[in-house]
Amino acid sequence: MKHTLCRSVLGVLLLASVTSALTASGADDELAAEAQKAIKALQSADTALTNLFTNAAGFAVFPSVGKGGLIFGGEHGKGIVYEKGKPIGEATLTEINVGPQVGGQSFYEVIFFETTEALADFKQSNFEMSAEVSAVAAAEGAALNAKYRNGVVVFTLARTGLMVQAAIGGQKFKYKPLN
């Protein structure tokens, strides 16, 4: 039984890392198209997010964040950064964590920036998600009660997989402007 569980977990981790690697290796046009699909999926999950996409100073959309772990875990994803609705750069998201966890998952993530200063901090490439900023699961009505903390609010929407986690770690981001 333990051997079967271990193989299943390793299979899920492999699937999550392959999904993330395939997404990361795609062309810029493919990433932009995937970001647009992610925006539509997030807006479908919660129509109130449309206001955030319209009114935020900027936002970063990660169309496929891969996450996996078995005691030690990690996340990786690549996304597009927008300012006033126009793409201005690319970003990568990484996280390494430790703690009770098992499984693998792929999800959409969007970070909204309330002010141009919050967006500028993100673009400095040393932005880290603080412990007091937690992601809100995108579901109808969730955006109505979401509050900015330190100039950001984060929404996620599961795509595939299952992850049980009580781990310690923080997302780190790197920004690269478009040419």
Residues 23 and 178: their CA atoms lie apart, in Å, by 18
Q: Which residue has the higher pLDDT, 100 or 148?
A: 148
Largest CA distance in the chain: 53
φ, ψ of residue 178 in degrees (nearest 5): -70, 150
DSSP letter string, 55-72: HSSEEEEEEEEEEEEEEE
| Residue 103 Rama label (left phi>0; alpha psi -120 to 50; beta) | left
Task: Give me the chain's average pLDDT, please.
Answer: 80
pLDDT-derived band at 133, boundaries 50, 70, 90: low
pLDDT-derived band at 128, boundaries 50, 70, 90: confident
Given this model, what pLDDT does residue 89 score?
96
**Res 35 pLDDT > 50:** yes
**Res 24 pLDDT > 70:** no
Cβ-contact 62, 108 below 8 angstroms: yes
Given this model, what pLDDT does residue 134 score?
62
Given this model, what pLDDT does residue 82 score?
98
Q: What is the mean pLDDT of residues 32-51?
A: 94
Cβ-contact 63, 107 below 8 angstroms: no
Q: What is the mean pLDDT of residues 70-94?
A: 93
Q: Which residue has the higher pLDDT, 28 or 121?
A: 121
**Shortest CA distance to 77 belongs to which of 5, 116, 40, 129?**
129
Q: Which residues contact 156 (CB under 8 A, 6 or more apart)?
A: 65, 107, 108, 109, 110, 135, 136, 137, 138
Q: What is the mean pLDDT of residues 35-55?
A: 94
Given this model, what pLDDT does residue 21 score?
43
Given this model, what pLDDT does residue 120 score?
95
**Res 177 pLDDT > 70:** yes
Given this model, what pLDDT does residue 83 score?
97
